[in-house]
Amino acid sequence: MNAPSFDTAHVTADTTSLSTVVPVGDLGLLHVNAFVVKSALPVLVDTGPAALREPFLAALGRTIDPADLRYVWMSHMDADHLGNLSAVLERAPQAKVITNFLGMAKMGLLGHDTSRVQLIGPGEELDLGDRRLVPLKPPYYDAPETTGFFDTATRVLFSADAFGALLPGGAAEAAAIDPETLREGMLKWAAIDAPWLSTADPRAFGGLLRNIERLDPSAIISGHLPVARGVTGRLAANLNEALSAGVFDVPDHDTFERLIGAQSALAA
């Protein structure tokens, strides 16, 4: 691979993606995306992996003067989202970190300064002057602090890790990816990121997906998918299959039976 770089592209007139792709073993390439929302009070959404600090900061600098940032919205505290938080905060002295209580606790455990955290609690929204970011729990996630949002001005939905896909190559738009390639890539990623999906209640999960379809976002932006415009129904249908795809096994019934049987034998 060439030296990694982050490409920048407009999602809307005032929302920009900072995007790269990284290999995940021989399973495919994963988009790793952050976003800048140039609202009245500008926001950076996630900070990329530390291993890609220089190209990430370069792309951020091409998009906005970091000193203008007022918030850094942390979707969750995984290394591919948190990696450059300290470096960004050094360059963004006005910026507060938006997360919830668990996110702040994890930041502290990871040795990050939490003095600039602005907690966002249940039912609260982030007022950016010309819009609100309404926190939303994505339909699946790999860390319980995960918080996406709906932008009330652009109607863009940010889904954190959800709707990600392992793909054979980079793409500018999810709609341009061959539908079967996208479907397979989404199922692979969902099985890695949320192996518990195969144990989720299909009706409850289907309800979460239907709510997103009813919300009818202008675009879905994910940390791990090219911008998805006009394909919400297709993405939801693909994810619905993730419940039964079972690409990677969770502890199965036979394993439990074997363990319980061994314990019973010991107790006898």
Q: Which residues lie near Fe ion (CB under 5 A)?
A: 78, 80, 142, 161, 223
Nearest residue relative to Fe ion (C-beta): 78
Tracing tokens 């791990």 back to the chain, one arrives at 224
Instruction: Please tell me the distance from the alpha carbon of residue 110 to that of residue 116, in angstroms, as a whole number.
Output: 15
Query: Which of 41, 225 has the CB closer to Fe ion?
Result: 225
Q: How far is the CB of 77 from Fe ion (least distance, A)?
A: 9
Tell me the C-alpha distance between 3 and 13, whole Å: 29
Query: Is the Cβ of residue 46 or residue 151 nearer to Fe ion in the bound state?
Result: 46
Task: Give the shortest CB-230-to-Fe ion separation in angstroms.
Answer: 24
The region that residue 155 occupies, defined by phi over 0 for left and psi between -120 and 50 for alpha, beta otherwise, is left
Quote the distance between the C-alpha of residue 136 and its chain's center.
12
In one letter, which amino acid is 251?
Answer: P
Cα 183-184-185 angle, rounded to 5 deg: 90
Minimum gap (Å) between residue 78 Cβ and Fe ion? 4
3-state class (DSSP) for residue 5: coil
Residue 149, both tokens: 């949002």
**Nearest distance in Å: CB 224, Fe ion:** 6
Which one, 196 or 256, has the nearer CB to Fe ion?
196
- Which residue, 41 or 107, has its beta carbon nearer to Fe ion? 107
Pick the closer one to Fe ion by CB: 151 or 161: 161
To Fe ion, the closest distance from the beta carbon of 155 in angstroms equals 23
